Amino acid sequence: MRRAAVPRLLTAACLAVSATACSSAPGGSSPDTFSVWDPYPQFAAGSDWVRTIEGCAAQAGVKVQRQAYDTTDLTGKVLLAAQQRTAPQVLVVDNPVVSTLAEAGVLRPNSDVGLDASSASPNLVAAGTSNGQTYGTPIGANTLALYYNKAVLGAAGVDPASVTDWASLDAALGKVKAAGKKGITFSAIGTEEGSFQFLPWFWGSGATLTDLSSADAVSALTLWKSWLDNGFAPNSVVGNTQTTSWQEFATGEYAFAENGTWQLQNAKKAGFEYGVIAIPGRTGGTAPAPTGGEFVTVPAQEDNGTETKAAQIATCLTAPDRVLATVTALTYVSAVPSVREQQVAAAPELKVWVDAVQNAKGRTGDNLGTRYPRISQPLWGAVQAALTGAKTPEAALKDAQAAAASAK
């Protein structure tokens, strides 16, 4: 029977810390108490999420010690804990980080611990796949679509159902501008948010992340640049986060806003009637949008039994009969098709989001793994350079491809 060894990539780092730190009990917990770390500080004791964790731990015959961190802090804390052999038994982590932790030896593959991700949609599971192994299982996903202001489109004589490809979207934006209103707002900031928002247009053109300078990729960046040149989108997009672009849409002046499921509650409070349509591909259909959302994973521990029991808790946390309350609280679409059907039955307005998630892609998919950040940064840099006029879309993407190819 396999004995769980300390991840080889972490062993040298562990030598740099004190002997006491390296000999600490996994997760800093006793044998009958399992540590669960997650990126949901908004959920306090007594919430549906915490009650679910406690119930799953009880089902596995252990108590639980849950710790919540901001998403931006969690990765660093997990890497340090793994070096010190104090990693939690169960880790809930943002999906693009899974491959990074897996390649660092922090996580155990599902096949080693008995964690089954087969009930989740393959396109979502792909974000947790690295070198032929799957690590963890997704709770659910959020992604991007186009919110629209019904009054603005109505005044411009635009039927949102007519927006089915880039040409029809351009035509709609032209009518909105002619009617004296503003067209579309989005986030093109020079961070991962900018890449995240550009990817539906990038992928929707037919481009792939392994060739940033393709003709398809250039067509996507040219589209965005044309919106600024034609006055369909404001120059503020180059500094917009997804939050500030939403604030622009919430003024009631814009026809469209590219944003995610996490804005649904804000949309209901906006003070005007809104709708949602899928982001169209260049020639039609729904463009693949990047997936957000977390995976429940099992970090490496000192023995097989601990890892197996941790996998039981992880399986429970993502089980169809338990996950519905969690994805509802997170405004996520479930990773499990049968649960998505329940979500749409309860809230028909989620149908467009379900369709978007079914067409979505993981940013680290296509076996990019830890290469994705080395691609994403040049990509958002290219978007910034083109939108500000510093470079043409062709030159910006050519430089981005060269930077991505040379990144180590």
The residue among 146, 143, 200 whose CA lies nearest residue 172 is 146
pLDDT at 2: 32
3-state class (DSSP) for residue 333:
strand
DSSP 237-286: GGT--HHHHHHHHTTT-EEEEEEEGGGHHHHHTSSS-EEEEPPBPTTSSB
Q: Is the pLDDT of residue 26 over 80?
A: no
pLDDT the model gives residue 199: 98
Flag whether pLDDT at 16 surpasses 80.
no
Report the DSSP beta bridge partners of residue 91.
37, 297
> Are the C-beta atoms of 387 and 238 separated by less than 8 Å?
yes
Strand partners, 290: 361
Q: Which residue has the higher pLDDT, 171 or 14?
A: 171
Distance CA 48, CA 51 (A): 5
Render pLDDT for 54-84 as a digit per residue (tens, 0 to 9).
999 999 999 999 999 998 899 999 999 999 9
Angle, CA of 272, 275 and 281, to the nearest 5°? 140
Q: Over the stretch 330-366, which tens digit does the pLDDT of each residue have?
A: 889 999 999 999 999 999 989 999 999 999 999 998 8
Strand partners, 183: none
Q: What is the pLDDT of residue 30?
A: 55
- Give the pLDDT confidence score for residue 366 in this predicted structure: 83
Confidence of residue 94 (pLDDT cuts 50, 70, 90): very high
CA distances from 340 to 135, 297, 348 (A): 22, 22, 11
Categorize the per-residue pLDDT at 325 as very low, low, confident or very high, splitting at 50, 70 and 90: confident
Question: Position of tokens 């338990």?
Answer: 322
Cα gap 27→15, rounded to integer Å:
18
407 confidence band (pLDDT: 50, 70, 90): confident
353 contacts 147 by C-beta, under 8 angstroms: no
CA proximity to 143, closest of 315, 9, 285, 276: 276
Contact 399, 391 (CB under 8 A): yes
d(CA 255, CA 39): 33
Q: What confidence score (pLDDT) does residue 31 get? A: 66
How many Å apart are CA 258 and CA 272, to the nearest integer?
17
Among residues of the chain, what percentage have pLDDT more than 90? Answer: 84
User: How is residue 314 written in tokens?
Assistant: 């992880």
**Mean of the pLDDT values across residues 125-141?**
94
pLDDT for 121: 95
CB 300 within 8 A of CB 307: yes
Q: Give CA separation, 125 vs 37, 63, 357, 372, 380, in Å.
A: 20, 28, 12, 16, 25
Q: What is the DSSP letter of 292?
A: B
> Can you list the domains of the chain with their CATH numbers?
8-138+294-329 (3.40.190.10), 144-291+364-406 (3.40.190.10)
Q: How far is 354 from 359, CA to CA, in rounded Å? A: 9
Rounded to two decimals, the pTM is 0.86
Q: Under a CB-based contact definition with an 8 Å cutoff, are residues 95 and 364 in contact? A: yes
Q: Which residue has the tokens 């909105």?
A: 176
69 by DSSP, 3-state: which? coil
Residue ranges of alpha helices (H) inside 104-149 are: 110-113, 122-125
Q: What is the dihedral of CA 306, 308, 312, 314, to 10 degrees?
A: 80
Whether residue 91 contacts residue 298, with contact meaning beta carbons closer than 8 Å, is answered with yes
Residue 328 pLDDT: 84
Over residues 144-170, mean pLDDT: 98
Helix axes 372-387, 192-204, angle to 10 degrees: 90
**CA 326 from centroid of its chain's CA atoms:** 16
Distances 406 to 135, 145, 230 between C-alpha atoms, Å: 28, 33, 35
Cα 79 from Cα 84, distance rounded (Å): 9
For position 14, what pLDDT does the model report?
37
For residue 57, with 0-12 CB atoms within 10 Å meaning exposed, 13-18 middle and 19 or more buried, which class applies?
Answer: buried
Determine the pLDDT at residue 82.
95
Q: What integer best gives the mean pLDDT of the chain?
A: 91
pLDDT tens per residue across span 215-256:
999 999 999 999 999 999 999 999 999 999 999 999 999 999
Angle formed by the axes of helices 320-329 and 48-59, nearest 10°: 160
